[in-house]
Amino acid sequence: MKVLLTGAGGQIGHDLISHLTDAGHHVVATDLAPRPATHASHVDWRRLDVTDATAMHATFADVRPDLVFHLAAILSARGEKDPVLAYNVNQTGTWNLLEAARATGVGRILFTSSIAVYGPGLPDPTPDDVALWPTTMYGITKVSGEMLCDYYRRRWGMDIRGVRFPGLISAAEPGGGSSDYALFMYVDGVRRGAYEAFARPDTRIPLMYMPDGVRALLDLSRADRAGLTRCVYNVAAFSPRADEIAASVKRALPDVQITYKSEPVRQGILDSWPRALDDSRARADWGWKAEYDLEAMTADLIPKIRAMGPGPTSVTHAH
Ligand code: AKB
């Protein structure tokens, strides 16, 4: 199968590409950034600016993918620093992708949405269908992206599916998210022995380990269309407080020092998100179930970050 990825150089693409190539698919990975050193030269890596409708159309017309994973996005924290960029990449980029796919006849599209579609004051756990009043430009563009996907599905009969991801944690460098405090507890814990979190210790949002995130995308991409009762699904794994993540890291790295200095913008975003997601619809429709809890993730992730050796930390990483 020919599989095209947008935003392939990001955190999800990093892990998804190797699963797709291992399964024997022909992967066309697109991004503004050049091929990362971690990706083998057999991956067909192409430069694509998703805000450029002509380039998007030309890429789709040339590749004619059977399956597309639309990953390109500016995340919540970076999006609040540059809302115009977030609008252009997330909103115009998704529109360009849907139009290119409609014109060239793509088989199936997987859209990546986020807990950022939600605003404050919702039930805990939060179900799929509630009023969506996000506080960030990232969240607004994801709500709109979900609605566009649903529209193209109904209006043009296209096969489009999506997941609302929690904050994803993996051994790859994060990219400007508000959930990055959780990943940096691990990355800085291993590389620096210390981390000052930008969130309060009682901060609690839904999180997921990347192997589950990749599995959610792959399982949904293979699910029987007849069994899908909605376009975009909540997927959940675990919802620890920040100090519970720190305690888990400390059990594995007893000398680590984790302290807290809440930063108002990112804390405000985190406080606006649900504390936990209800993913019962994904479980019922396509058999979704996360495998990793917090402790299983800690046990798997710390050796992986160690094996990566020296690299960026929260100190060197500009959000
Ligand atoms: C972010 O923090 O913006 C992302 C997300 C939860 O979608 N990781």
Please state, in angstroms and rounded to a whole number, the distance separating the CA atoms of residues 82 and 159. Answer: 32
Q: Kindly state whether residue 285 falls inside one of the protein's structural domains.
A: no
Same domain, 260 and 138: no
Same domain, 70 and 213: yes
Same domain, 201 and 211: no
Same domain, 115 and 178: no
Same domain, 259 and 230: no
Same domain, 155 and 24: yes
Q: What pTM was estimated for this model as a whole?
A: 0.96
State whether the beta carbon of 178 lies less than 6 angstroms from ligand 1: yes
Q: Kindly state whether residue 56 falls inside one of the protein's structural domains.
A: yes
Cβ neighbour number for residue 209 with a 10 Å cutoff = 24
Same domain, 161 and 77: yes
Same domain, 31 and 161: yes
Q: Kindly state whether residue 91 falls inside one of the protein's structural domains.
A: yes
Q: What is the CATH number of the domain that holds 68?
A: 3.40.50.720
* Ligand 1 midpoint to CA 205 (Å): 10
Whether 7 and 72 have beta carbons less than 8 Å apart is answered as: yes
At 231-276, the pLDDT tens digits run 999 999 999 999 999 999 999 999 999 999 999 999 999 999 999 9
* Ligand 1 midpoint to CA 106 (Å): 27
Q: What is the CATH number of the domain that holds 197?
A: 3.90.25
Q: Which of 202, 316, 293, 302 is nearest to 256 (CA)?
A: 302
Q: Kindly state whether residue 86 falls inside one of the protein's structural domains.
A: yes
Own/partner pairs for 43-49, CB < 8 Å, 24+ apart? Answer: 43/17, 45/8, 48/6
Same domain, 116 and 126: yes
Same domain, 57 and 96: yes
User: Which residues belong to the active site?
Assistant: 138
State whether the beta carbon of 207 lies less than 6 angstroms from ligand 1: no
Whether 200 and 263 have beta carbons less than 8 Å apart is answered as: no
Q: Kindly state whether residue 52 falls inside one of the protein's structural domains.
A: yes
For the chain of 319 residues, list the mean pLDDT of each consecutive stretch of 10: 96 95 96 83 91 98 98 98 98 98 96 98 97 98 98 98 98 87 96 97 98 98 97 98 98 98 98 98 98 98 93 74
Q: Which pLDDT score, from 0 to 100, does residue 135 have? A: 98
Same domain, 215 and 301: no
Looking at ligand 1, which residue's alpha carbon is closest to its atom 4?
A: 177
Q: Kindly state whether residue 27 falls inside one of the protein's structural domains.
A: yes
Q: Kindly state whether residue 104 falls inside one of the protein's structural domains.
A: yes
* Ligand 1 midpoint to CA 212 (Å): 16
State whether the beta carbon of 182 lies less than 6 angstroms from ligand 1: no
Looking at ligand 1, which residue's alpha carbon is closest to its atom 2?
A: 177
What domain range includes position 228?
2-168+207-234
* Ligand 1 midpoint to CA 217 (Å): 16
Same domain, 81 and 192: no
Number of domains present in the structure of the chain: 2
